[in-house]
Amino acid sequence: MKPLVLVNESYHDSRGEVYPFWKFNDDIVFVEDRFSRSKYGVIRGFHGDAITSKLCGCIYGSLLLVLWDMEENKKYEYTLTDENKMRVLIPPNYLNAHQCLSKECILFYKWDQPYNSPEQQWSINYKDPTIDAKWPIDNPEISERDRNSKCISKT
């Protein structure tokens, strides 16, 4: 299964704008929402698991979203912004990571499974040579978990 990219029309008037983030679909029922707020250059990830689908969109600022298909060994990259309103439905068995490209960004996630602890997720190093993500901002701030994660070839 490949990631699904969604972009909907938005309604503009003198007050601002309204647009849908997700329209109900019998194939997937989301049970939890999460926000990730980051400052310029921060990288979060690579994380994933075998059961969770995630719908992601940048609701403030801009970010680079990098996905890795663990079954097909294939990379996908998307620039998500509050202006382009692109959302990406990430299937299970994918790793995901993102880097904040603006002064601040907020990534909004909808999950179809309750959040499980970091110990139950896969965590792969953000510099993994197999994935070969081209992070555009040098010297990123990284969590200890992400800095110390192993590479795919060593798991």
Give me the residue spans of the domains in the chain: 4-8+28-154
pLDDT in tens, the chain (155 residues): 889 998 878 888 899 888 888 877 778 899 999 999 999 999 999 999 999 999 999 999 999 999 999 999 999 999 999 999 999 999 999 999 999 999 999 999 999 999 877 677 899 999 999 999 999 999 999 999 999 999 998 65
Q: Does domain 4-8+28-154 have CATH number 2.60.120.10?
A: yes
Tokens 């690579």 belong to 46
- The strand pairing partners of 9, in sequence order, are none
Looking up tokens 């990571």 gives: 97
How far apart are the C-alpha atoms of 7 and 153, rounded to whole Å? 35
Residue 137 has φ and ψ, to the nearest 5°, of -115, 120
Length reported for the chain? 155
Q: Token pair for residue 55?
A: 């719908």
User: What's the rounded Cα separation, in Å, for the pair 68 and 90?
Assistant: 10
87 burial level (CB within 10 Å; 0-12, 13-18, 19+): buried
pTM: 0.92
